[in-house]
Structure 1
Amino acid sequence: MHLMSARTLSATGLLVALAFAVTLPEDLDWPARAAMLAFGGAAILWVLTGLSAAYVAVAAAVSLVAVRAVEQRALIEGLGSKVVWLVIGTFVLGAAVEKSGLAGRLTALIAGRGTSVGGLMWRLTLGIVPLAFLIPSTSGRATVLLPLHRSLTEADDDPRLAKAIGLLIPALIVLSTICSLTGAGSHLVTVDLLERLSDQSIDFGQWMLWGLPFGVAACLITTFLIGHLFLDAETRARQVAEIEASSGPLSAKEWRAGAVVLAMLGLWLTEGYHPFGIATVAVVGAVILTMPVVGVLDWEDGVKAVNWSLVLFIAASLVLGRALISTGAAKWLIGSALSASGLGSDSPPLPILLGLTALGLTAHLYMVSHTARVVALLPPLLLLADKLGLSPVAVAFLANAGMDYCLTLPVSSKALLIFQSEERPAWTSTDLLKLGALLAPAYAVLMIAAYYVFWSHTGLALR
Structure 2
Amino acid sequence: MTTAVAPADSPEQQASHKLNTGKTIAFFLAFVALAAVILTPIAGLAMPAKIALGMLAFAVIMWVSEAVSYPVSAVMIVGLIAIMLTFAVDPETGEAIGASKGLSIAMSGFSSSAVALVAAALALATAMQATGLHRRLALYVLKFAGEKVSNIVIGAIVISIILAFFVPSATARAGAVVPILMGMVAAFGLAKESKLAALLVITATQAVSIWNVGIKTAAAQNLVAVGFIEDQMGQTVSWGQWFIWAAPWSILMSIALYFIMRAAIKPEVESIDGGRELVEKQLAEMGPMTGAEKRLTAIAVLLLFFWATEGVLHPISSATITIVAVGFMLMPVIGVMDWKYAQQQINWGTLVVFAAGISLGKFLLDTGAATWLSEATFGAIGLSSMPILAAIALVSLFNILIHLGFASATSLASALIPVFIALAATLDVPNGGIGFVIIQQFVICFGFLLPVSAPQNMLAYGTGAFTSKQFLRTGIPLTIVAYLLILLLSATYWNWIGLV
Bucket of the pairwise TM-score, normalised by the shorter protein: over 0.9
Q: Distance in 1 between matches of 2:29 and 2:355?
A: 28
Match of 2:167 among 135, 138, 157: 135
Offset at 1:177? Answer: 0.5
Offset at 1:193? Answer: 0.7
Match of 2:61 among 21, 44, 48: 44
Deviation per CA, 1:296-315: give whole Å up to 9, x if none. Answer: 11221122232100000001
What's 1:373 paired with? 412
Say whether residues 1:288 and 2:328 are aligned partners: yes
Offset at 1:337? Answer: 2.5
Of the structure 1 ranges 317-326 and 428-437, higher mean CA displacement relative to structure 2 is found in: 428-437
What's 2:52 paired with? 35
Q: Is the 8 A contact 1:117 1:239 kept in 2?
A: no
Offset at 1:223? Answer: 2.2
Q: Is the 8 A contact 2:409 2:444 kept in 1?
A: yes
Q: Is the 8 A contact 1:227 1:236 kept in 2?
A: no
Q: Distance in 2 between matches of 1:358 and 1:129?
A: 26
What's 1:449 paired with? 488
Of the structure 1 ranges 348-357 and 186-195, higher mean CA displacement relative to structure 2 is found in: 348-357
Match of 1:256 among 292, 295, 299: 295
Counting matched residue pairs gives: 457
What's 2:275 paired with? 241
Q: Is the 8 A contact 1:15 1:44 kept in 2?
A: no
Q: Aligned in 2, Cα 1:106/1:284: closer, same or farther, shift over 3 Å?
A: same
Q: Is the 8 A contact 1:112 1:120 kept in 2?
A: no
Structure-to-structure mapping, 1:354-433, within 5 angstroms: 354-391=393-430, 392-422=433-463, 425-433=464-472
Q: Distance in 2 between matches of 1:117 and 1:446?
A: 27
Deviation per CA, 1:170-191: give whole Å up to 9, x if none. Answer: 1111111011111111111101
What's 1:73 paired with? 104
Structure-to-structure mapping, 1:12-411, within 5 angstroms: 12-13=28-29, 15-17=31-33, 19-22=35-38, 23-68=40-85, 71-112=102-143, 114-158=146-190, 159-231=194-266, 235-236=269-270, 241-242=275-276, 243-245=278-280, 246=283, 250-272=289-311, 273-345=313-385, 347-391=386-430, 392-411=433-452
Q: Which has the larger radius of gyration?
A: 2
Q: Distance in 2 between matches of 1:240 and 1:124?
A: 17
Q: Distance in 2 between matches of 1:14 and 1:103?
A: 41
Q: Is the 8 A contact 1:356 1:398 kept in 2?
A: no
Q: Distance in 2 between matches of 1:157 and 1:445?
A: 40
Q: Is the 8 A contact 1:156 1:240 kept in 2?
A: yes
Q: Distance in 1 between matches of 2:457 and 2:378?
A: 36
Q: Is the 8 A contact 1:38 1:61 kept in 2?
A: no
Offset at 1:356? Answer: 2.6
Q: Distance in 2 between matches of 1:219 and 1:230?
A: 17
Amino acid at match of 2:158: L
Q: Distance in 2 between matches of 1:149 and 1:222?
A: 17
Amino acid at match of 2:247: L
Offset at 1:3? Answer: 4.7
Offset at 1:131? Answer: 1.5
Q: Is the 8 A contact 2:121 2:169 kept in 1?
A: no
Q: Aligned in 2, Cα 1:268/1:428: closer, same or farther, shift over 3 Å?
A: same
Of the structure 1 ranges 241-250 and 265-274, higher mean CA displacement relative to structure 2 is found in: 241-250
Deviation per CA, 1:356-388: give whole Å up to 9, x if none. Answer: 321232232122211111111111111111112
Amino acid at match of 1:314: F
Q: Is the 8 A contact 1:95 1:305 kept in 2?
A: yes
Of the structure 1 ranges 297-306 and 4-13, higher mean CA displacement relative to structure 2 is found in: 4-13
Amino acid at match of 1:263: L
Q: Aligned in 2, Cα 1:340/1:410: closer, same or farther, shift over 3 Å?
A: same
Deviation per CA, 1:187-211: give whole Å up to 9, x if none. Answer: 1110111122221231110111111
Of the structure 1 ranges 123-132 and 72-81, higher mean CA displacement relative to structure 2 is found in: 72-81
Q: Distance in 2 between matches of 1:420 and 1:123?
A: 20
Q: Aligned in 2, Cα 1:110/1:444: closer, same or farther, shift over 3 Å?
A: same
Q: Distance in 2 between matches of 1:18 and 1:62?
A: 14
Q: Is the 8 A contact 1:8 1:49 kept in 2?
A: no
Offset at 1:253? Answer: 2.3
Offset at 1:278? Answer: 1.0
Q: Distance in 1 between matches of 2:359 and 2:206?
A: 31
Q: Distance in 2 between matches of 1:239 and 1:352?
A: 51
Q: Distance in 1 between matches of 2:345 and 2:244?
A: 30
What's 2:11 paired with? none
Amino acid at match of 1:181: K
Amino acid at match of 1:19: A
Instruction: State the identity as a percent.
Output: 27
Higher RCO, 1 vs 2 (CA within 8 Å, ≥6 residues apart): 1
Q: Aligned in 2, Cα 1:442/1:174: closer, same or farther, shift over 3 Å?
A: same
Amino acid at match of 2:220: G
Q: Is the 8 A contact 1:45 1:56 kept in 2?
A: yes
Match of 2:499 among 416, 436, 460: 460
- List alignment gaps of at least 5 residues for structure 2: 1-16, 89-100
Q: Aligned in 2, Cα 1:78/1:437: closer, same or farther, shift over 3 Å?
A: closer
Q: Aligned in 2, Cα 1:368/1:238: closer, same or farther, shift over 3 Å?
A: closer
Deviation per CA, 1:113-134: give whole Å up to 9, x if none. Answer: 5331111101111121122222
